[in-house]
Amino acid sequence: MSYVSVCLQCESNFTKRSMRDPKSYCDSCWSSRANRINRQNIYNRTKQEKVSSEEMRIRTIEEDVKEFKHIFDTYMESVGESMKEEMAITVGNAITDVIDKAYINIEKSVEEHVASEFEKTNVKFTTQLALLNTRMFRLDTEINLLVQKLASIIKKNELKGLEVFTRYLEQRGEKE
């Protein structure tokens, strides 16, 4: 025979087995009583699965694999951090080496370019200087000849130098 009572904790109705039971808690509120009753009462028991030894081994192996995976992941993270730092140092050194070599190559090419451009301009300037030099030489010879002619005319005619020069210029203008 069962007796209905009110749970002191959740205030729900539940059945007691006897009046002698001093506790007034339902099965869900008083777990130790529920476990005890479940052991005694066949109909109120939760079904327990029978686990074979192979399934237990598989479960333990899966748990070990999870644990090893966690350890491996943390190890890889720490190794990954150090490898990233080493790779950054290596890549940084390689980049600085490449930049140094590129700077040297650029410097050489700039020097070669400047030297070739300087040679070109130097050739231009020397040709222009040679032209100017020959023109100056011709002009100097013409002036010397002119002075000699003027000197000879002045001696012959006994005229003043300015008058002789103007006559010479007029004669020369007529020839051209």
Last residue of a domain, one of 32, 48, 64: 48
Residue 49: predicted pLDDT: 59
- pTM for the model stands at 0.31
**Tokens 């090419």 correspond to what residue?**
109
Residue 155 in any domain: the answer is yes
Residue 65 in any domain: the answer is no
Confidence of residue 143 (pLDDT cuts 50, 70, 90): confident
Residue 70 in any domain: the answer is no
DSSP helix/strand/coil, 47: coil
CB 73: neighbour CB atoms within 10 A?
11
Tell me the pLDDT tens digit for each residue of 93-128. Answer: 888 888 888 888 888 888 888 888 888 888 888 888
Q: How many residues does the chain have?
A: 176
**For the chain, what is the domain count?**
2
pLDDT at 172 over 60: yes
CB 1 within 8 A of CB 16: no
Q: Rounded to whole angstroms, how far apart are CA atoms 116 and 59?
A: 81
Residue 150 in any domain: the answer is yes
Percent of residues, the chain, with pLDDT higher than 70: 75
Residue 158 in any domain: the answer is yes
Residue 136 in any domain: the answer is no
Q: Rounded to whole angstroms, how far apart are CA atoms 176 and 162?
A: 21
CA distances from residue 47 to 38, 43, 70, 171 in whole angstroms, order as listed: 10, 10, 34, 144
Residue 14 in any domain: the answer is yes
Question: Domain range holding 31?
Answer: 3-48
- Residue 26 burial class via C-beta count within 10 angstroms: exposed 0-12, middle 13-18, buried 19 and up: buried
Residue 164 in any domain: the answer is yes
CB 3 within 8 A of CB 18: yes
